[in-house]
Amino acid sequence: MKSKLIKTSVLSITTIGVIGCHSVTRVETAQTLIPKAKAGVASSTFNSSTDHFQFGDYSSSAWVSDSFTGEHIRQFQGKTLHFGVSQTAPDGGLDVGLSRADDVTSNVSEAKQDLEICSTYTTNLTGNGRWWAGPKVSVNWQGDEAAKQNGDDWYENYIVEIASSTPEELHDIYTGDYFKGEVLPRTRLAGSEYRHYKIRFHSWWQFWSVRQDYRISGALPLEPILDVWIAHGLPENRSFDGVKANIETYGQVSGTGKLRMDTTNDSTKPLACD
């Protein structure tokens, strides 16, 4: 499940030397972690900020927590998003996402109709922290931190296809003394059982759905999962902000990964995520 194409290293944006009149930064060193694009494959510039940026038909988002200590970098190579991260603090993390740039915002009840995602996650991540990967769905995000102050106005939702923790370990985390999450009815989709949870995280709600038989690639119908969430409090009339392929890290994690994804509401449209 781990890529051998990308070696890990510590990323840093501090200047480490001067060659002639050119300052050499560790961001430039970090760029060497991502393999060069194959001949004929168009590539974006490197992005070491959290700015949302678009390349072709796809866009990428990134977010770091206040307690994140370290560096991160992203680059598109064709439809594939490559990223690197080095987080040295025991708390805090990075969220990297890939979505279609042509996503149209609608309410949940309309957006969920026949909605399907195909996504692929390749990871080479090490360290004492943890990570998880899968589709992420945001509902009624208002574009700024104020949305988080009233948890009834924003829902941050994760589907875990693969993670550094086992499904049993995640169950213990969600239902333990810290989160005290609600266990929802299970569903069977795409050849595996999914266990569902509802969590109050800080001041907003989260729904989590965890595949019990991990995989790194595959198609997943989202309507049955959204129906479980709706039955337990996700409002159908709120804005569906789209779905993205997502990898999130927490704690001391370093390494690299890449994401691919495609979505459709048309059952006759072939999905491409490999």
Residue 3 has pLDDT above 50, yes or no: no
Looking at residue 76, its amino acid is F
Confidence of residue 108 (pLDDT cuts 50, 70, 90): very high
Q: What is the pLDDT of residue 150?
A: 57
CA–CA dist 189, 161 (Å, integer) = 12
What b/e string do you get for 27-64 counting C-beta neighbours within 10 Å, with b at 16 or more? beebbebbeebeeeeebbebbbeeeeeebeebbbbbeb
pLDDT score at 32: 67
Task: Give the count of alpha carbons within 13 A of 138, CB side only.
Answer: 17
- At the topology level, CATH places domain 15-264 in Jelly Rolls (2.60.120)
pLDDT at 143: 60
Element (H, E) at 225: helix 223-231
| Cα–Cα dist 217/125, whole Å | 17
Compute the distance between CA of residue 87 and CA of residue 92 in angstroms, rounded to an integer. Answer: 8
Question: What element of type H or E holds 231?
Answer: helix 223-231
| The token pair that represents 63 in the structure block | 């977010």
The share of the chain scoring above pLDDT 90, in percent, equals: 73
Averaged confidence pLDDT in the chain:
86
Rounded average pLDDT over 35-47:
91
